[in-house]
Amino acid sequence: MVRVSNTIISLVLVGEATWSAAMRTGLANQGTVGQMMKQMRDLRKGTRAGEDNERLNKFQALAQITPGAQESLKNALSSVITDIDKNVIALISDAHKDTQTEIDNRIHALKLSTTKTSDQKTNADAADKQWLDCVEDEKQKRIAVETATSALRQAQQDLIKPCQDRDASSAFSTAADELSFSCDFSKHENCPVQLQNFKTQIANLIAGVKSDMQQKEATYAGFKAECAAKQTAMLDAKQALSDSTAAWQSKREQCISKHEDRGVSICLFGSALHGKCSAIAAYDSLMLKIDAEGSVYSHQDRVEEWETATITKCMLDAVANGKQIDQAALTTCEQSLDFGGAIGVLEKYKASYDASTSSDKYPYTCAAESVKFFGSTWEVPQGDAPSSSDYIQHDFAPNFRPAGEFPFALCSPSGQPAYESRPEGKCATYQDKLPGAALGSNSHSTVMSLEFHPESSNATKRQWILNIGQSGAGAEHWLWNAHAGENRVQFGRWNGGQIGVAEINNAKVIATTYDSSTLTYKLYVDGALKAERTQSEDQRLDIKNGDLKIGLKGYNNNEIGFEGCGYGVDIYRRVLTAEQIVSAAQNLPQRTWLLGAPGQSCDQTCQHAERTCAEDGWPGWAISSSSIEAVAEEVGAVCKSVRERCDKGEAPLLDNGECGFCTTQKPQCRKRYGTRTRLCPCL
């Protein structure tokens, strides 16, 4: 019985020279399908003028193989068709699904970043309004101080005359120098008459003195009462001034805090907008690749390959079933093409994209344009007794920096740090030295990027996160007493005034500022002010040298170093504002969890984000149900279920809402398999 092999089919359709080359390279079977598809592609495109009939003739020649070999031919063609399905169309379908998954991931990232940006904008608007209203109230309270000052000045002026009059009328005196008595005993009854006259004169004098005294006493009493009333009014005015001054000072402190909150909120919004702009750019870039030729995501290439493979199958099937092989058969095959029905239609989520980028809904874009918050700002006067007229309000709409490191100018630290301390590895505990003069009691700010390992909260002894200066009194240290409570800390002067309570566990960036003019020490965690303390004069910091111990204990005792590691410490020889703290954090390396694309290794995922994967031995890999859920939340996903699965070093994984972690095998950055989606720590 005559049999027809794939080799004969190849010789007929492809040609002897092409088949010989395929045999030499060991790619006979794949070469058969590939060359047949190339011939069919050329036939459909007509790229080689005058040879269309020749290619069609090859299918016709195949159909005219010895009649006794028809069954064998049919089996051989069926094998080739199966090969096309398995090695061509299945791959095209997988590529289509991968492209759809990539679109899904990027539109999901855009939606998440849009929601985050919108929420941060709402927060920033609210913080801006709260600060504006606070300063308006502060100004009114300053006006109240000025009114009270004027009232006190008037009360003091009104007090002068009545009290002077009171003092001037407090004394009373009179004189009777002309009063005298005499009589002549020689004259009958002269002396008794004169005595009676004298008595009358004295009585009249006393009555006159008494009347004068009463009149003067009444005058004095009036002046005294008026003086007392004016004194009371003056004391009331003084108290009113004291109260209004205290109210202004209290409001001023509130507004300073709200100004910091406002700056942080604006910078967080700017950072979120940076993230959204990156998500938009990633989506736009993918769409360009899908619509263009020559990319793994090219839809045009994929459709063309599928149509070629499908027509090749159709023509081979026609041959196998003894149908007429001519131009009409080719046309029939072409008319049956339906890529969307067979493979699917890419969902590009245009409506979601348009909604996320709508300028009507989100009046801020990725262009270098001004962004309006509440629309105005205050020029707040400095000093202990500013004039209310120096509170000046004007328009405020800062320019967004789409390509800059800092989204708005107000987020940029004023200058670079005095020293950037970095470990030799990616994250470590280590020693270093601040160059130049010791910080002493001078103002400064310290910003540290760090990693809390899972076991750090279970430590049984006090942990030393940072020590600046000597190992003794006056130095500055950051200590964590997790064994006594997660919020128990000692930040501040060694053997002196310290902040004792603050939530720092799992922080990415911790910062402190020390203002020598006010003796104020502040603690920030991930950009938010968590605690502050005003030191007493005898508790000033007194840092005597530049020694830096990052994660190492300050001296030899039975305490321990930090059960985590540091990515770096930046020291500024000045006090940074809250806004500048947020920006300064961006100058430090930080670990960020990223969700990889299906089938990507963590090395590839991190490299795509212009970062590097944490080393294989890094202790911060998610190795528990709680840690994997926290990681999923960080990348904007939700663990619908959690289970332990190691997958040869690929965990942690996210698969259709199922989060997987491994406790027995160290994850490896380079690992990847199939379409598994990894969660990757990138630095």
pLDDT 10s digits, 563-613? 999 999 999 988 999 888 988 888 788 888 898 888 889 998 888 877 888
- Give tens-digit pLDDT for 350-374: 999 999 999 888 888 888 788 999 8
What share of residues in the chain are helix, strand, coil (percent, to 5)?
50, 15, 35
Most confident of 20-34, 497-511, 650-664: 497-511
DSSP labels for 387-446?
-GGG-EEEE--PBP-SSSSSSSGGGS-SS--SEEE--SSSSB-EEEE--SS--BTS-EEE
| In the chain, where the domains are located | 6-102+298-345, 109-272, 413-585, 592-682
Q: For the residues 385-396, what does the mean pLDDT come to?
A: 89
Sorted by sequence, the CB contacts under 8 Å of residue 530 that are 6+ apart come out as: 502, 503, 504, 523, 524
State residue 5's pLDDT score: 45
Question: Which residue did the predictor score with more confidence, 286 or 50?
Answer: 286
- Is the confidence at residue 45, as pLDDT, over 90? no
Average pLDDT over residues 432-454: 91
Q: What is the mean pLDDT of the chain?
A: 85
| Residue carrying structure tokens 């090859």 | 58
Identical topology for domains 109-272 and 413-585: no
Question: Which pLDDT does position 198 carry in this prediction?
Answer: 86
- Establish how many alpha carbons lie within 13 A of residue 65's alpha carbon, considering only the half-sphere containing its beta carbon: 26
Q: Please give the pLDDT value at position 40.
A: 54
Distance CA 124, CA 378 (A): 16
Please compute the mean of the pLDDT values over residues 421-447 and round it to a whole number. 90
Domain covering 109-272 in this structure, CATH number: 1.10.287
Q: How confident is the model over 477-527, as pLDDT tens digits?
A: 999 999 999 999 999 999 999 999 999 998 999 999 999 999 999 999 999
Top CATH class, 413-585: mainly beta
Question: Which has more pLDDT, 28 or 233?
Answer: 233
pLDDT digits (tens, 9 = 90+) for 219-231: 999 999 999 999 9
- Decide if 72 contacts 9 (C-beta within 8 A): no
Phi, psi of 613 (to 5 degrees): -75, 145
**523 forms bridges with which residues in the sheet?**
512, 531
Considering only CA atoms, which of 489, 511, 497 is closest in space to residue 587? Answer: 511
In terms of Cα–Cα distance, which of 57, 546, 100 is closest to 315?
57
Confidence of residue 547 (pLDDT cuts 50, 70, 90): very high
Render pLDDT for 608-644 as a digit per residue (tens, 0 to 9).
Answer: 877 888 877 777 787 788 888 888 888 888 888 999 9
pLDDT of residue 549: 96
Mean pLDDT computed over 52-72: 65
Rg, C-alpha atoms of the chain: 46
Element (H, E) at 63: helix 52-63
